[in-house]
Amino acid sequence: MTTLKDKVILITGSAQRIGRILSLGLSDATLILHYHTSQDEAQSLKGELDKRGCRSSLFKADLLCSENISKLFDYITKKYGRLDVLINNAASYKKGAFLEEDDFDSCLQLNLKAPLICAQHAAKIMPKGSSIINIIDKSANKPFKGFVSHSISKAALMHATKALALELAPNIRVNNLMLGLILPSKGHTQNAFDKLVEKHVLVNRQPTNQEIVEGARSLIENDFINSTTISLDGGWI
């Protein structure tokens, strides 16, 4: 496994779930750990990373506000001078009424516009060979019932990745990491989640944390992967 010790990586939504898994798994790099409301979890994550000897810093920001995104990248520029990898992980996953306008607007703001603005800022301080990874899920291919806004936003982000890759080539690569059933959502018991896995996942299990991290690492380390989607779903049916 190639070391990332010379890389500076920003992970949005780093404090919980996939963000936490990726942060811990990429701890050989220098990490900027973005969070919004999950302050306790973010500080706990940083404490764990400190024990591992990982160089990391926390930054609180509401990515619904473009000005806050600018402040985040101003901080990165002043502290580190560059960014090698951007992982757009922060997202809204909220079940709601069909096209409820406020939810629709905020969902697209966080799940689509914020990653694009982050990419725009990142590109200005990224050296040649850098990488942007957008985290999406299976709703980008097949909408989830009850999650209209979320499904639309992830499908749009999947397409936006190709547009970004076209604009930023050849110096910066842009890819999607599409996740299947990884962790139970809020309100789902482990038993209910296991039944979904049995129904939809051919290998009939959740991925290990290491498998998730290896998916991200492959997009960081392999310079020939660009403008595509790596699907980490165990065989989805």
Kindly report the number of other CB atoms within 10 A of residue 102's CB atom.
9
Which of helix, strand or coil describes residue 155? helix
Within a domain: 2: no
Residue 136 lies in a domain: yes
Residue 237: Cβ-neighbour burial (10 angstroms; 0-12, 13-18, 19+)? exposed
Q: Does 221 map to a domain? A: yes
Query: What range does the domain containing 181 cover?
Result: 8-231
By the 8 A CB rule, do 85 and 12 touch? no
- Helices 114-125 & 148-168, crossing angle to 10 degrees? 20
Number of domains in the chain: 1
Question: How far apart are the C-alpha atoms of 29 and 114, rounded to whole Å?
Answer: 24
**What CATH number is given to the structural domain containing 182?**
3.40.50.720
Q: Full-prediction pTM beyond 0.85?
A: yes
- Is 237 part of a structural domain of the chain? no
pLDDT for 93: 80
Q: What pLDDT is recorded for position 228?
A: 98
> Is residue 197 in some structural domain?
yes
pLDDT of residue 97: 62
pLDDT one digit per residue (tens) for the chain, 237 residues: 578 999 999 999 999 999 999 999 999 999 999 999 999 999 999 999 999 999 999 999 999 999 999 999 999 999 999 999 999 999 988 776 667 778 889 999 999 999 999 999 999 999 999 999 999 999 999 888 888 999 999 999 999 999 999 999 999 999 999 999 998 887 778 999 999 999 999 999 999 999 999 999 999 999 999 999 999 999 988
Write the single-letter amino acid at 70: S
Confidence at residue 1, expressed as pLDDT on a 0 to 100 scale: 59
**Residue 177 and residue 135 in contact, taking contact as beta carbons nearer than 8 Å:** yes
Using DSSP's 3-state secondary structure scheme, residue 169 falls into coil
| 26 occurs within a structural domain | yes
Q: Is the CB of residue 195 less than 8 Å from the CB of residue 7?
A: no
pLDDT at 185: 81
